[in-house]
Homo-oligomer: A and B are copies of this chain.
Amino acid sequence: MNERTKYILDESRLPKAWYNINADMPIPPEPVLHPQTLEPVTPEFLSVLFPMNLIMQEISRERFIEIPEPVRQVYKLWRPTPMFRARRLEKALDTPAHLYYKYEGVSPVGSHKPNTAVAQAFYNKEAGTRALTTETGAGQWGSALAMACNFFGLDLEVYMVKVSYQQKPYRRIVMEGYGAQVFASPTAQTDYGRSVLATDPNSPGSLGIAISEAVEVAAKSGGQKKYSLGSVLNHVLLHQTVIGEEMLQQMEMAGEYPDMVIACTGGGSNFGGFAFPFLRENLQRGKNTRIIAVEPAATPSLTKGKYTFDYGDTAKMAPVVKMHTLGHDFMPPAIHAGGLRYHGMSPQVSALVAHGYVEARAVNQLATFEAALLFARSEGIIPAPEPTHAIRVAIDEALKCKETGEEKVIIFNVCGHGHFDMASYDAYLKGQLEDFDYPAAAVEAAMAHLPQVG
């Protein structure tokens, strides 16, 4: 019997290509629509925000896209990441299930986000972009992109939600440490920011406002600056598949194959990156693995939202896509998994859920922190609040195996460490956290504001 705890791939086995789910989507793609005309967008429209090489990746149907060597060279600073057999957690649960987790927290910024940040910075540099703009909430995405821009010599402007800028300074300092400029959004530097401040000078900001500011700056830069997004889009999910491609090799090292693949999902990039290579095995090689996307009950786009056309952002400046949505004017409750608070969802993940290729599940935050502490006390690692959603479901499934006696192989992704999120644990330990089920009536009401797509 294999007694290993940690499965590490040699650097030579770092994947040479990303996997593009578009090559194998079992459902015909839906068009991406212009936010004003609601007609299908052209690459030229998108090129105001993104360089053409990334737009080509966005719409590519090629199954495997080669990872450029300069990107692989940066990946090697922390990749391949380890996979662990969760032996101590299995023991704590007294389950016959075999639990394995991938750990992305070993990256320099502590999460999976650099997998696409590095690729986007590289392609922008190739395309002649001088600077990138982006938004960030708690700062996980912004810090990844700051590191990536630094490596490829791009300037970076980060519009950080003001309340996070003030209350969560650590990741802001990380961004500044890598040389990025960080602004508390809303700012007085953009038309949209000024309009918000005119109405409410004390606005705490929101991700929607920050997106609109970052988009505006790029759109008005005359091509000098491009905008970068950390989730939702196909090219972002594509870059994240390096996680699942490594995991496939590591499961082979372990001599097992998963019955269940579990990851948390906000915009879908962590989930897609981990799960899509296993989905390919389902679609192409007749494997029958259950693939489970886990979201917060407080932001339940997949489990309570509608699968319909909606704007990607609050200000209706981003394209309209068919996806699971809570409505673009959704106001996320103040739960602690800041990375999972988006109103919509990757169109690919949405379509796969809508057609039954992926299961969706929602869990509430008290249960996720309970699972997180059990995980931390078993495996040592204190996870970020986002992956605790996947950990919760993995534990639930392992406990079902205890009842049935089944030796199922369950794998899940721990997409980041929680060292920047200890205030959330403090609130949980002090009994200050509450559960929140997003009301179905609010979703119904939001549907009245959807774009009227033929």
Contact = CB atoms under 8 A, between A and B. Distances in A.
- In the complex, the count of this chain's copies comes to 2
A178 interface: yes
Given A78-B380, A380-B147, A422 B108 contact: no
Contacts of A51: none
Nearest to A376: B177
Contacts of A88: 151
Interface residues of A, number: 45
A174 B382 contact: yes
22 contacts: A5-B11, A5-B77, A6-B11, A6-B78, A8-B8, A77-B84, A77-B379, A106-B106, A107-B380, A108-B376, A108-B381, A108-B382, A173-B422, A173-B423, A174-B419, A176-B425, A177-B373, A177-B376, A177-B422, A177-B425, A178-B376, A178-B377
A367 B58 CA distance: 45
A176 B169 CA distance: 22
A92 B90 CA distance: 46
A183 interface: no
Given A77-B6, A422-B169, A176 B429 contact: yes
A110 B419 CA distance: 9
Interface in A17-67: none
Contact of A173 (B5, B11, B109, B425): B425
A77 B380 contact: yes
Give the most central of A5, A11, A376: most B CB within 10 Å. A5
Contacts of A76: 5-6
A403 interface: no
B5 A73 contact: yes
A450 to B, nearest CB: 41
Given A5-B73, A173-B422, A150 B377 contact: yes
A37 to B, nearest CB: 43
A420 interface: yes
A81 to B, nearest CB: 10
A252 interface: no
Interface in A159-173: 169-171, 173
A178 B425 CA distance: 11
Interface string A174-199: 10111100000000000000000000
A214 to B, nearest CB: 23
Contacts of A84: 77
Given A73-B5, A377-B178, A429-B173, A420 B419 contact: yes
Contacts of A107: 380
A426 interface: yes
Contacts of A4: 11
B173 A426 contact: yes
